[in-house]
């Protein structure tokens, strides 16, 4: 089992025990913080920090910590256990720009980090900023965090939101542009998937095979005319004629990706950096992204403005913003087509998980890799 990371590392968010402007190629993370019987269950990446969840539900963190988004006092460039939460078993974790959360095995929510806009669901006049880990008495099955807002999905399929709503990202109407407590989003169906972008929110209802969208639409990320609808303050239902089950619904800062059961990748929104995997500026339209030679997709992850995609033949592909080498594909500033990411020392190891944050990435492998000094050339 091996963990690799690359991209922006200005706060040590790659867990490589160094701080640097960027790491250009996938690099092995020393996993001395794990015992031999543990594996990686999930990784979540924020603006400059990273959370890691082990197979037993234990939490680790590294990187940027100005708002205590790591869940502890010290900033570190290698993964360390968040010991003040060691008695909690987490099943899901999420990161916003400089705030974080975790869902427990009893479907309760812990939150910590910046609460400057009420994004933790805590009254600002009673909780100083930053906030140490606090348990909320709210039911949460899934959670997503944007730049300054948070959305949770409960066991009833309801969506509850908190934080900044000046772009409509709370979906609570034009008269409710902020909240420091979780409030239910009205007039939407039973939701199965939820994702927060920078200033927008997207949901999918498996029952209705439809999207619900609200928030900023400057780049057509809500699939509505950006000339006519700059901001949407209440949820709008959109039928995109998809009858397949949804594997993943993901948001970047200003783009959206839908991965379907039949393997199709649908993406839309802003394309200034190649976020949509094409050179055409198709803002507001759905693009079907395909990997070269009709490869099937095993997993996919979105950063703020780039995409990492794993194919079933164990090859890794990336496209989009590349200012901090976040695609791992070379020195070009932007990558407009799915481009192969080569990983030195991978050997016979199988990539099982991919994760992305603002401008950094992780992949996790299961199997035996070779000496990391050897290189896999194009």
Query: In the chain, what are the domain boundaries?
Result: 42-341
* Per-residue tokens: 27: 């690099």
H or E, element range at 338:
strand 334-341
In this structure, the number of other CB atoms found within 10 A of the CB of residue 28 comes to 16
Answer yes or no: are the C-beta atoms of 151 and 189 closer than 8 Å: no
- Taking only the tens of pLDDT, the chain with its 378 residues reads 899 999 999 999 999 999 999 999 999 999 888 776 789 999 999 999 999 999 999 999 999 999 999 999 999 999 999 999 999 999 999 999 999 999 999 999 999 999 999 999 999 999 988 999 999 999 999 999 999 999 999 999 999 999 999 999 999 999 999 999 999 999 999 999 999 999 999 999 999 999 999 999 999 999 999 999 999 999 999 999 999 999 999 999 999 999 999 999 999 999 999 999 998 876 678 999 999 999 999 999 999 999 999 999 999 999 999 999 999 998 788 999 999 999 988 888 999 999 999 999 999 998 765 543 333 333
CATH 2.130.10.30 for domain 42-341: yes
* Residue 42: both structure tokens together: 């999930």
β 149-153/142-145 pair status: antiparallel
- Complete DSSP assignment for 239-269: -----SPEEEEEE-SSEEEEEETTS-EEEEE
* Longest CA span, the chain: 59
Neighbours of 331 (CB within 10 A): 7
CA angle, corner 299, sides to 295 and 301, nearest 5?
Answer: 120
Question: Beta partners for 267?
Answer: 257, 287
pTM of the model: 0.94
Report the C-alpha gap between 372 and 286 in whole angstroms: 40
């Amino acid at each position: 089992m091996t963990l690799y990371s690359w991209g922006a590392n200005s706060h040590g968010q790659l867990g490589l025990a160094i701080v640097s402007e960027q790491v250009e190629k996938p690099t092995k993370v020393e996993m001395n913080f794990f015992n031999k019987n543990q594996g990686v269950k999930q990784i979540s990446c924020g603006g400059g920090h990273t959370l890691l969840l082990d197979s037993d539900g234990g939490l680790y963190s590294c990187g940027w910590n100005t708002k205590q988004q790591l869940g502890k006092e010290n900033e570190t460039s290698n993964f360390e256990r968040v010991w003040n939460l060691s008695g909690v078993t987490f099943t899901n974790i999420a990161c916003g720009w400089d705030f974080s959360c975790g869902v427990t095995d009893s479907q309760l929510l812990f939150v910590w980090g910046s609460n400057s806009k009420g994004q933790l669901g805590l009254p600002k006049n009673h909780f100083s900023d930053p906030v140490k880990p606090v348990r909320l008495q709210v039911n949460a099955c899934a959670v997503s965090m944007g730049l300054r807002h948070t959305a949770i999905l409960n066991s009833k399929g309801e969506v509850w939101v908190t934080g900044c709503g000046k772009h409509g990202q709370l979906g609570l109407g034009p008269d409710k542009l902020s909240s420091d407590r979780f409030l239910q989003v009205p007039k939407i169906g039973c939701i199965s998937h939820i994702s927060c972008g920078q200033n927008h929110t997207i949901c999918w209802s498996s029952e209705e095979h439809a999207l619900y969208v609200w928030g900023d639409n400057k780049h057509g990320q809500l699939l509505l005319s950006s000339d006519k609808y700059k901001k949407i303050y209440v949820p709008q239902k959109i039928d995109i004629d998809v009858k397949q089950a949804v594997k993943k619904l993901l948001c970047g800062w200003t783009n959206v990706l839908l991965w379907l059961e039949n393997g199709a990748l649908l993406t839309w929104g802003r394309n200034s950096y190649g976020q949509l995997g094409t050179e055409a500026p198709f803002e507001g339209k759905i693009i079907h992204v395909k990997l070269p030679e009709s490869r099937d997709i095993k997993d996919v992850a979105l950063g703020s403005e780039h995409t990492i995609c794993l194919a079933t033949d164990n090859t890794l592909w990336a496209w989009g913003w590349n200012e901090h080498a976040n695609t791992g594909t070379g020195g070009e500033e932007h990558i407009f087509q799915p481009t192969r990411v080569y990983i030195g020392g991978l050997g016979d190891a199988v990539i099982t998980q991919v994760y992305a944050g603002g401008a950094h990435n992780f992949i996790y492998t299961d199997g035996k890799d070779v000496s990391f000094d050897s290189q896999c050339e194009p």
